[in-house]
Amino acid sequence: MSALDRARAAVEATANALSRVPAFQSPEGRRIALFASFRDEIDTLPLARALWAKGALLALPVIVGRERPLLFRSWAEGAELQPAGAFCIPTPGPQCPELVPDVVLVPLAAFDRRGLRIGYGGGFYDRTLAGLRQRGAVTAVGFAFACQQVACVPAEPHDEGVDVMVTEAEAFRCGDEDGI
Question: For residue 59, which of 77, 43, 40, 46 has the smallest C-alpha distance?
Answer: 77
The CA–CA distances, whole Å, from 161 to 53, 55, 69, 120, 167 equal 29, 27, 15, 14, 16
Helices and strands (DSSP H and E) totals, the chain: 4, 11
Q: At what angle do helices 3-20 and 45-53 cross, to 10 degrees?
A: 40
- Give domain status of residue 179, yes or no: no
User: Which parts of the chain have pLDDT scores under 50?
Assistant: none
pLDDT of residue 90: 86
pLDDT of residue 179: 58
- Longest Cα separation, the chain: 44
- Give domain status of residue 177, yes or no: no
pLDDT of residue 180: 64
pLDDT of residue 7: 96
C-beta separation of 143 from 44 below 8 A:
yes
What is the reported pTM?
0.93
pLDDT of residue 10: 96
CA distance 86 to 92: 16
pLDDT of residue 84: 80
- Give domain status of residue 178, yes or no: no
Residues of the chain with pLDDT > 70, as a percent, come to 97
pLDDT digits (tens, 9 = 90+) for 158-177: 899 999 999 999 999 998 76
C-beta separation of 118 from 110 below 8 A:
yes
CATH at residue 159 = 3.40.50.10420
| Mean pLDDT score of the chain | 92
Q: Based on the structure, what is the number of domains in the chain?
A: 1
- Give domain status of residue 54, yes or no: yes
CA distance 32 to 36: 13
- Give domain status of residue 84, yes or no: yes
Domain hosting residue 78, numbered range = 3-172
- Give domain status of residue 180, yes or no: no
Residue 14 exposed, middle or buried by CB count within 10 Å (0-12, 13-18, 19+): buried
